[in-house]
Chain A
């Protein structure tokens, strides 16, 4: 008989000062040994649901909790988070923010030290967890020098050494490249399958996890919650991964959730789509004018280099012994008006360094960058942004960094907009209303959702009317609706005579909006071609639709739908 690991009985959570509850009358029962996936739009209360499940709400965050939460039979009302450390383990979105010690092995032992376990038991469990999560080679390494995927696995290991019954994770893969995300998810499924651990997991990129889930809990915008098997919930859910969308389009029932299941049924669909595809091939147009030309760009980070101007990108700090890092090695890149180019590659491959070097405010040790003037710019024809003042440079090429909140420093949205307007009042607000309508002017930028904050930073940068727009990892923490809207905005910017270069790990988003894909590895450009050419054939970067319909050059459900409509 299955025991219940987590039970919520009529749980309603209201934060102080809030007009309405974040969670409304939630009844939920998660049996032992299940992988439970929590989905829902941004700001709907997924994080609150997870924090309620580990008693951080209300003990740590404040707020009122009505109803009852039972963890392995213990009521969170009577137990502080620290008293539940041996029952529930919590891993946050940014693993580095939760590290207490500085060495992998000590971090793994930290929770057990707090529980007062005997040294012999601790040593044994640390060794077991090192093997279980494939961390044995990293045991002596400093935590700050690990890659994102390794850090996330250490964070998971650090809570499971206390042998909790339930593991709660809030978007564990949102900052990881596809391969590192696979590693983390493989580790999680191993915990569920081999150890019978219960995992409760929130994730925006459903396509990555839905195939592993036993149960899906959908949090609606009004705080109500429905749960059931993945097939049942996803058939009616507002947010669905491409595979489900394709399944609905093809009329498959029951819905396949893994690429493997879908491919088995795909031959018939492929046969239906192929004729429409042959008919509607795009005609290559005449090349439009070049707006950004980069030749032989090199970026070095390191001890000597960083003394004068520290370079962006995290690789500089992690270099052993402070030796220099050759982050970008002779990249040639041309952006034409109308291009939306995606920059892909694993973490640390030089994407961020390249973006900053192209903008002109990051380091560039060698090479040239020429950018055409923006529509409102009266400067010379092509110029090197590094030679221009920051004010003039951003009117040609603007960058939204991977932490958009760094750009914001005023205490209200209205003040930010006024700050960015310059000579033409109201332009930023108009741009913001177009990107994300309905943000109140008196709201504090910190209180916005991830999507709204990105929209504000984007509006601030677009107010300078740049010709070229650079974005570093813009899709972090965005739900499907926000991503679709962002894709539309970027395509529109390009259609207006500009160009967009964005770095992203999100293959589905790239398939949606990019016309061209550039893949980097170890500072080199290893592939540069149309999205279809690069993505369809790649084992790591292929989106789900491409994997299912291979060898047809289709990347998104929208393309498949169009091909189907063209079929006679």
Chain B
């Protein structure tokens, strides 16, 4: 028996729904509640994998965002009236430097607004981090349609090459010390860059040879489909016109229609292109009831949270939403 992770797209659906909700919620208490829910789910559901261990880094990044947002408010923000916490003198930059006003009295309301805005941005980042921590990024890429398979492989290799490059750089610097070469300055950088880069090149050639001889990029002979190109062109054009219509403020229905037509053309092209790639998937992730539950929990939570803003009894609605967001924490690991 081995623990079987949930389908990666389920976690992505959950996290994306909460991220959308995060952009629509303004009350700082609701944002904090949602943040707590996301963190709780990650702590209870993550496993001991490198990508799961990266989650604290996202929390730190979120903290930095809040701090930077408040610092910006203190330095250049428009100061709102209210109880003054810190009375800084106003400094006016000279006219040749645009002539803006820096600093000024910092008030509690101003600080609260800045913190709330920062917290909302942080929540977005944490949602992204949560999806990354809960869903193996490589398995998520495996769920790509067949036509995008080659691109997916390239991304997977790029992901695994980066740590190798770091390890190679560390190894080479250590070896250079054996030669007694200085560890600082341009010469040292050159001395370690050359072996690292040649090593990386050798490695990629070995990998390419291995992939090639194991059948990567095999195509069915003599069947190149012209319809794919035509459909992709159509999809691109309708996407461009649709976006223009949306931004220009003309009929929303028209714009939506254009965008939908473009998306449909892209899907058909992808299916046609996928037919040329002959490949199958080993033990694909299954989408079962737990996956539906996780995705639904995210969507319902998002719906409740968006509805809560401005409605009567909004805190009650928001609390219910956060509870839904945290619900996946109750799920247990499945076994195969």
Contact = CB atoms under 8 A, between A and B. Distances in A.
A464 B218 CA distance: 53
Interface in B188-213: 190-192, 194-195, 198-199, 202-203, 206-213
Interface string A109-120: 111111111110
A54 B212 CA distance: 11
A84 B179 contact: no
A403 B280 CA distance: 39
Contacts of A106: 282
Nearest to A310: B170
A414 interface: no
Contacts, number: 166
Interface string A369-399: 0000000000000000000011101100011
A494 B157 CA distance: 46
A423 B283 CA distance: 64
Contacts of B284: 119
Interface string B3-42: 0000000000000000000000000000000000000000
Point out which of A310, A359, A420 has the most chain B C-beta atoms below 10 A from its C-beta: A310
Interface size class of B (residues with CB under 8 A): 35 or more
Nearest to B53: A322
B230 interface: no
Contacts of A97: 202-203, 206-207, 210
Contacts of A115: 215, 218, 278-279
A391 B192 contact: no
Prevailing SS type, chain B contact patch: helix
Interface string B155-196: 011001000000100111011111111010000001110110
A242 interface: no
B214 interface: yes
Interface size class of A (residues with CB under 8 A): 35 or more
A545 B167 CA distance: 41
B275 to A, nearest CB: 11
Interface string A63-87: 0000000000000000011111110
A446 interface: yes
Given A85-B213, A85-B215, A94-B206, A102 B160 contact: yes
B213 A126 contact: no
A405 B213 CA distance: 27
Point out which of A90, A100, A111, A461 has the most chain B C-beta atoms below 10 A from its C-beta: A100
Interface of A: 54, 56, 60, 80-86, 88-90, 92, 94, 97-102, 105-106, 109-119, 122-123, 126, 140, 158-159, 162, 310, 312, 317, 321, 356, 359, 361-362, 389-391, 393-394, 398-399, 401, 403, 405-411, 420, 446, 460-461, 464
20 contacts: A60-B212, A81-B212, A85-B218, A90-B213, A98-B206, A100-B214, A100-B216, A105-B283, A111-B215, A114-B217, A116-B279, A119-B283, A123-B283, A310-B174, A359-B178, A393-B180, A407-B179, A409-B191, A420-B179, A461-B179
